[in-house]
Chain A
């Protein structure tokens, strides 16, 4: 009886506690963001300069070549690694984007996507390798990846603006966070799927870890890693409209411009240009994965 009363009061107390003592999670995050800004202001400024340099450089390079030049170059690359069909599609796709007057916007978007993807891969692939090799790394990285992938992107747009101001840099930063997880996951998966016999054979011939990694594991895992690269690019493209909310410009702002002025046609044109770029990049990375 007393036990029952005790239990009842315990649970009602616990219930009270759950609902009344609200954890100030939001305030902790605010304090943390302020702390980061105060402490690492210079580092953020340096990262900002670096990323902005890379985006500007790419934009200058892609923008320097006329659209038909880019169309031919991409078509040639596509012919070489993905076949004639993809080459023709790429050629027509770029000409189509230029035809609907969106090439200048596409250049900005491409520069940002490429920058974000390259950085995501430079961080992601080694992290994937480490996660495949060490169980501890894997168990630390996995929940972080879940977090990165499922946290709605809107949530880190504004901190990204605090750290990196508006423009292409916070957009690239937000895109990296959103697009990196599959690169890490699939790299790690690819390496772990390499047959044990192959590793043992390598070890029997006296290979060190370095030789094992570069001569056996990475080549064997390459198709899976390329699937990760492919996913990374696709996710980066899916961020363009969201990124335009923090000043990224490019095709995303064309879409938002169309939608927010009730001009569905204009929004659709921006959207279809994104789709064309996505298909070209998808076929190119899939093609190079097969080779």
Chain B
């Protein structure tokens, strides 16, 4: 391959990098689909803090759901 045109070598190399990383992306996407992140357990400390603040401001309130909006 030493005598090959460098232009050809570079073209092959660039395409190969692309193809390999695309393959990795597809495989990892499949793995992520197969092993999804379980719903995170509610942070107990966060729940306690929010409950305490809510109780202080609105006594008798019960927190039923905490939702984070990105």
A and B assemble together:
no
